[in-house]
Amino acid sequence: MNPKDYLAYTLGYQLLGKSYLSWQRHSDERAIKALRPAADDPLNPPLVGTARMKELMSRHYLEGRYANGVRKVAWVTSGAPIEVLRALDFFLIYPENHAALCGARRHAEGLCVEAENAGYSRDICSYARTDIGSALSGRTPMGKLPRPDLLLCCTNICQTVLYWYRVLAAHFNVPLYVVDAPFLYDKASDHQLDYVLEQIEGLIPVAEKVAGKRVSRERLQEIMEQGKSCAELWLTIMDRAQHRPSPITAFDGFINMGPIVDLRGEPETFAFYTELLGEIDRRIDNGVGAIRNERKRVLWDNLPVWYKIGKLSRHLGAKGVNVVVSTYTYAWGELAPMMDAADPMRSSARVYLHPILNRSTGDKLRSMREMVAKFQLDGAILHSDRSCKPYSLGQIDQRDNLANDLEVPAVLLEADHSDPRVYSDEQADARLDAFIETMEAA
Amino acid sequence: MGHAKWIGIDAGSTTCKAVAVGEDGALAAWRIEPAHPVIEDQAARLVEELRSEAGAGAELPVVATGYGRKLVRCASRNITEITCHARGVFRALGQPGMLVDIGGQDTKVIVIGAGGRALDFMMNDKCAAGTGRFLEHSAARLSVAIEDLGPRALASTGEESISSTCTVFAESEIISLVAHGAKVDAILLGLHRSLISRVVAMVHSVGLRTPLMLSGGVAKNPAARAMLEQATGQTVHLPEYPQLMGAYGAALVGLESGAGAADKQA
pLDDT for B1 equals: 56
Angstrom distance (rounded) from CA B189 to CA A186: 46
What's the CA gap between A287 and B263, in Å, rounded? 34
Report the pLDDT value the prediction gives residue B265, as an integer from 0 to 100.
38
Decide: helix, strand or coil at residue B78: strand
The C-alpha of A403 sits at a distance from chain B's nearest C-alpha, in angstroms, of 7
Within a domain: residue B221? no
Segment (H or E) for A76: strand A73-76
Query: How many Å is the maximal CA-CA distance in chain B?
Result: 65
pLDDT band at B263 (very low <50, low <70, confident <90, very high): very low
From B84, which residue of chain A is nearest by alpha-carbon distance?
A434
CB contact under 8 A, A438 and B123: no
Interchain proximity A437–B80, CB inside 8 Å: yes
> In the predicted model, what is the mean pLDDT of residues A392-411?
93
Q: What are phi and psi of B145, to 5 degrees?
A: -70, 145
Minimal CA separation from B205 to chain A, in Å: 7
Q: Is the dihedral of CA B226, B228, B231, B237 positive or negative?
A: negative
Across A9-23, A65-79, A129-143, A395-409, least confident range: A395-409
pLDDT (0 to 100) of residue A428: 93
Q: Which helix (H) or strand (E) holds B89?
A: helix B81-93
pLDDT at B166 over 80: no
CATH code at B58? 3.30.420.40
For testing contact with chain B, the best of A396, A405, A433 (most B CBs within 10 A): A433
Instruction: Band the pLDDT of B266: cuts 50, 70, 90.
Output: very low
Q: What is the pLDDT of residue B260?
A: 52
B178 and B142 Cβ atoms separated by less than 8 Å: yes
From CA A337, how far away is CA A333, in angstroms rounded?
A: 9
Among A188-192, A377-381, B101-105, the minimum mean pLDDT is found in B101-105
CA distance A139 to A136: 8
Question: Does B198 map to a domain?
Answer: no
Cα distance between residue B108 and residue B198, in whole Å: 11
Interface contact B205-A396, CB threshold 8 A: yes
B173 falls within a domain:
no
User: What b/e string do you get for A168-196 counting C-beta neighbours within 10 Å, with b at 16 or more?
Assistant: bbeebebbbbbbebbebeeebeeebbebb
pLDDT digits over A330-380, tens only? 999 999 999 999 999 999 999 999 999 999 999 999 999 999 999 999 999
Q: What is the pLDDT of residue B2?
A: 57
3-class SS of residue A426: helix
Tell me which chain A residues have a C-beta less than 8 angstroms from the C-beta of B85. none
In Å, what is the CA distance from A244 to each residue of A284, A285, A293, A368? 8, 11, 11, 19
| Domains of chain B: total | 1
Contact state of B120 with A422 under an 8 Å Cβ cutoff: no
Confirm whether B213 is domain-assigned. no
% of chain A surpassing 90 pLDDT: 95
Domains: count for chain A: 1
Backbone conformation region of residue A184, classed left if phi is above 0, alpha if psi is from -120 to 50, else beta:
beta
* DSSP annotation of B235: -
d(CA B245, CA B19): 9
For residue B207, is it within any domain?
A: no
- For B195-228, how does the pLDDT look when each residue is reduced to its tens digit (9 = 90+)? 999 899 999 988 999 999 999 999 999 999 999 9
B118, β-bridge pairs: B112
> Distance (Å) from the C-alpha of residue B94 to the closest C-alpha of chain A?
18
A420-437 mean pLDDT: 92
Of the candidates B67, B80, B126, the beta carbon closest to that of A434 is on B80
For position A355, what pLDDT does the model report?
94
pLDDT digits (tens, 9 = 90+) for A215-269: 999 999 999 999 999 999 999 999 999 999 999 999 999 999 999 999 999 999 9
Range of the structural domain that residue A174 is part of: 3-441
B82·A404 Cβ contact <8 A: no
> Is pLDDT of A74 > 90?
yes
Other C-beta atoms within 10 Å of A18: how many? 16
Q: B119 lies in a domain?
A: no
Contact assessment for residue B74 and residue B61, using Cβ atoms and an 8 Å cutoff: no
Kindly determine whether residue B118 and residue A434, on different chains, have CB atoms separated by under 8 Å.
Answer: yes
Side-chain-side CA neighbours of B52 within 13 Å: the count stands at 5
- Average pLDDT value for residue range B100-104: 92
Continuous segment of H or E residues that includes residue A59: helix A50-67
pLDDT at residue B256 in the model: 92
| DSSP 8-state secondary structure symbol assigned to residue A17 | I
Map residue B174 onto helix, strand or coil. helix
How many Cα atoms within 13 Å fall on the side-chain side of residue A70?
Answer: 19
- Asked whether residue B197 is domain-assigned, the answer is no
Residues of A with CB under 8 A from a CB of B: 396, 400, 403-404, 409, 411-412, 414, 422, 424, 426-427, 430-431, 433-434, 437-438, 441-442
Q: Are A292 and A91 in contact (CB under 8 A)?
A: no
Q: Residue A149: is its pLDDT beyond 90?
A: yes
Nearest to A250 by CA among A231, A260, A237: A237
Q: Is A137:A114 a contact under the CB 8 Å cutoff?
A: yes
What mean pLDDT comes out for the span B41-50? 93
What residues contact residue A134 under an 8 Å CB cut-off, 6+ apart?
A: A98, A99, A102, A111, A114, A140, A145
What mean pLDDT, rounded, does chain A reach?
95
Number of Cβ pairs < 8 A linking chain A and chain B? 54
- DSSP 8-state secondary structure symbol assigned to residue B49: H
Residues of B in contact with A403 (CB under 8 A): 120, 206
- Helical packing angle, A160-172 and A126-137, nearest 10°: 0
pLDDT band at B261; cut points 50, 70, 90: very low
- Please state whether the peptide bond connecting residue B242 to the residue before it is cis, i.e. omega within 30 degrees of 0: no
Closest CA to A110 of A94, A93, A95, A132: A132
CB contact under 8 A, B83 and A441: yes
Closest chain A residue by Cα to residue B65: A430
Amino acid found at A7: L
Sort out which chain B residues have CB atoms less than 8 A from A424's CB and list them.
Answer: 126
What is the domain range of residue B16? Answer: 4-84+244-257
Q: Which helix (H) or strand (E) holds A34?
A: helix A18-34
| Average pLDDT for B159-164 | 85
Query: Considering only residues 211 to 240 of chain B, which have any Cβ-Cβ distance to chain A shorter than 8 Å?
Result: none
Please give the pLDDT value at position B259: 58
Q: Is the CB of B90 inside 8 Å of chain A's CB atoms?
A: no
Q: Residue A297: pLDDT band by 50, 70, 90 thresholds?
A: very high
Asked if A308 and A251 count as a contact pair (C-beta separation under 8 A), the reply is: no
> Between these two residues, A399 and A442, which has the higher pLDDT value?
A399
Rg (chain A; Cα; Å): 21
Residue of A nearest to B106 (CA): A427
Of B118, B123, B206, the CB nearest to A437: B118
B136 confidence band (pLDDT: 50, 70, 90): confident
The residue type at A371: M
What Rg do the C-alpha atoms of chain B give, in angstroms?
19
pLDDT for position B59? 80
pLDDT at A256: 97
CB atoms within 10 A of CB A16: 12
Taking CA–CA distances from B112, the nearest residue in chain A reads A438
- CA-nearest of B93, B111, B159, B133 to B13 is B133
In a domain, residue B69? The reply is yes
How many angstroms away from the CA of A437 is the closest CA of chain B?
A: 7
d(CA A357, CA A302): 10
Bigger pLDDT: A160 or B137? A160
| H-helix or E-strand spanning residue A364 | helix A361-374
How far CA B65 is from CA of A10, B17, B18, B73, in Å, comes to: 61, 10, 10, 12
Residue of chain B minimizing CA distance to A414: B125
The pLDDT-based confidence of A12 (bands split at 50, 70, 90) is very high
Looking at the complex, report in whole angstroms how far the Cα of residue B81 sits from the nearest Cα belonging to chain A. Answer: 8
* Among B53, B3, B2, CA closest to B18: B53
Sheet hosting strand A296-301, strand order edge to edge: A321-326, A296-301, A379-385, A410-415
